[in-house]
Amino acid sequence: MSSLTTGAYYVRAYATNAMGTAYGSEVSFSPFVLGPFNGISKTYGDADFVIINPTSPSYGAFSYTSGNTDVATISGNTVHIVGVGTSTITANQAAAGAFGPASASATLTVGKANQVLTLNLPTTAHLIHLPALLCQFLQTLLWNC
């Protein structure tokens, strides 16, 4: 069975032959759903980060995909921020044992970084040469000093 939504399901096996139909016991089950896989907010320029697996009763391996590789790329469970914007990050868990495959999605939002402008002001030692440099500049443009 696949593509079951959350809720309770009931199944019962039966066999029919020339003597009639025999029914087995009814069994109920609920498909499992991956636990919380919350949205993530980052800033452009942040370091790579590791995705924490959603909770799951299954031991199936997780893999991840980024829906917008202009915003983020993923290698294993490590996310590398590429640009500003949003991307849907999908966690896929492989089938294992009695558990089928499962998936969950979260939105990664990457905001712009604050711009920083650094000015290096000249020291007194540099100012000593300023009149001569200014004179050379003006001499070239207008007149002799």
Give every CB contact of residue 95 below 8 A, 6+ residues apart in sequence. Answer: 58, 60, 101
Q: Where are the beta strands (DSSP E) in 1-143?
A: 9-17, 20-29, 40-43, 49-50, 62-66, 72-75, 78-81, 85-93, 102-111
How many angstroms from the chain centroid is the CA of residue 106?
A: 8
- Tell the residue number behind the tokens 């696949």, with chain if given: 2
Walk me through the domains of the chain, giving residue ranges and CATH numbers.
34-111 (2.60.40.10)
Is the per-residue pLDDT at 9 higher than 90?
Answer: no
91 pLDDT band, cuts 50/70/90, is very high
pTM tops 0.75: no
Are the C-beta atoms of residues 103 and 34 closer than 8 Å to each other? yes
Is the per-residue pLDDT at 126 higher than 70?
Answer: no
Higher pLDDT, 29 or 112: 112
